Amino acid sequence: MKKSFVLLSVALLLGYTAPAQTMSAAPKQLALARQLNQLMRDPAKPKQDVLIALNSCHVQQIIRDRDADVNLDNPLAMSFASGKSGWAVSSSNGFFELKMDFEWSDVTAVSYARSDDKDSKALYEIQIKRQKKNSTTNSELQLYTTDEAVVKNLVAQLNKLRQGCNQ
């Protein structure tokens, strides 16, 4: 009961409503998110999800591991929200979840590079640079593909979406 209350509180703080986001998002955004979600899935980790939800000018990234190396006596949940941006983390035995929310208006650059993580099978990463007040945040989306043209196209679509939100 307590765990459910904490998770519900975190979801409400972040404004998380996955079904509503999915229903209200434009078809192009849904297709883009679907393609990103497929390419971010690590084939070596079938119990791990890395997902992007695009809803107009809002982005949510979810990292969920249903086979995490976590052993806790009590579930843990923490969150931070600032406007429409924020993060939430929850963890319990064998489970870990991180949600990060941000607005495209905070993003100053979207680019890509070959992954420099030698242990990862991800060949490319999309790099998202955000600037809000006096802080800069960089995020990487690991992509499991050998096709640079696909990655380049995804970055172009993300930049188009970002620019449409900054007008």
Gap between the Cα atoms of 143 and 37, Å rounded: 9
Rounded average pLDDT over 99-110:
92
Half-sphere exposure at residue 156, Cβ-oriented, CA atoms within 13 angstroms: 6
Task: List, for residues 41-77, the tens digit of each pLDDT value.
Answer: 988 888 999 999 999 899 999 999 988 888 887 888 9
Prediction pTM value = 0.75
Task: Give the model's confidence band at 132: pLDDT under 50 very low, under 70 low, under 90 confident, else very high.
Answer: confident
The domain segmentation of the chain, as residue ranges, is: 2-165
Gap between the Cα atoms of 24 and 21, Å rounded: 5
pLDDT of residue 60: 93
Rounded average pLDDT over 70-89:
85
Whole-number average pLDDT of the chain: 82
SS3 assignment, position 82:
strand
SS3 assignment, position 84:
coil
Give 77's strand partners.
Answer: 90
pLDDT of residue 40: 93
Tallying the residues shown for the chain, one arrives at 167
**Which has the closest alpha carbon to 62: 97, 90, 33?**
97
CA–chain centroid gap for 17, Å, is: 15
pLDDT of residue 167: 66
pLDDT of residue 119: 63
